[in-house]
Amino acid sequence: MRSQKISTKENSKLSNEIDKLRVPKHIAIIMDGNGRWASKKGLPRSFGHNKGVNVLKEIIKVSKNLDCQVLTVYAFSTENWTRPSTEVDFLINLFEKVLKKEITEIHQESIKIKFIGDLSPFPKALKSIINSSETLTKNNKNFTLNICVNYGGRQEIVKAAREIAIKSLAGEIKPSEIDEQLFNSQLLTHGIKDPELLIRTSGEKRISNFLLWQLAYSEIYITDVLWPDFNEIEFFKAIIDYQSRDRRFGGIQSLPNKSCKDSNYSS
């Protein structure tokens, strides 16, 4: 009871420190540490992933309340296939189970859900629920949740390069027309503005093949907290830290790390 009171007090103290007009409009998250969290407690790794889903739900709610418009989370990387097949199967089943259970509420909350990555190796049942969830929510306007699955930044860049080469060979694009904007339009994230902030939990100081192109100028916040222990307070800390940064984008003059209110952050 006492600790709940303290944390409510800390929540509102931190919430008051946030400049609500400068909340990043797009936050990317590497949700790391599920396995270690469970092992530390002597539990199977799957318990960490289950707890991780609850944390994600909380962070979506908090982000929405803060008027952050887009969250992009790394749920399964192209490298995660190397895990034991029991864990891979567990994660695939978890994605399907969570989507089935939550999609009605996600839609009621006017959240647009989008999966980013190569879905082809996933089982038919998962692909089907992903497809129907994206179709159901495609016109929702309140918030966008991008879930990266079987996603790899290098693979995404190679795919974009290949598509541009094909168009160029077909005479649709001249090499002189290839610029950042055109390249960007071939990425899986086309139509979505780059994240202003990347949060990585569990203390690892790596990008791990996540959004390699899109994170070029993002602020990076790393916390030792493991994803299953991440919460509203830790999220507020990340935003307060972000708001203290001096964003110069390679120049010498500070630009306000202000998010543009009227920008459309999702397609």
Which residues belong to the annotated binding site for Mg(2+)?
32, 219
Closest CB to ligand FPP among residues 100, 190: 100
Distance, CA of 126 to CA of 129 (rounded, Å): 5
Q: Which is nearer to ligand FPP, 107 or 258 (CB)?
A: 107
- List, edge to edge, every strand of the sheet that includes 111-116: 111-116, 143-151, 70-77, 26-30, 197-200, 219-222
Q: Which of 11, 67, 80, 241 is catalytic?
A: 80
Give strand pairing partners of 255: 247
Site for ligand FPP in 78-107 (CB under 6 A): 80, 91, 94-95, 98
Q: What angle do the packed helices 85-108 and 124-137 form, to 10 degrees?
A: 20
Q: For the CB of residue 224, give the shortest distance to ligand FPP in the complex, in Å.
A: 12
Look up 80 and say whether it is catalytic: yes
231, amino acid identity: N
Instruction: Please check whether residue 184 is in contact with residue 156, taking contact to mean a CB–CB distance below 8 angstroms.
Output: no
Residues whose CB is less than 8 angstroms from the CB of residue 40 and which lie 6 or more positions away in sequence, other chains included? none
**22-81: contacts with ligand FPP (CB under 6 A):** 31-36, 49, 52-53, 56, 75, 80
The pair of three-digit structure tokens given for residue 225, joined into one six-digit string? 């907290």
- Residue 32 is a catalytic residue: yes
The residue annotated as part of the active site, out of 32, 50, 140, 150, is 32
Using CB under 6 A, list all residues that contact ligand FPP.
Answer: 31-36, 49, 52-53, 56, 75, 80, 91, 94-95, 98, 147, 202
Catalytic residue numbers, as ranges: 32, 80
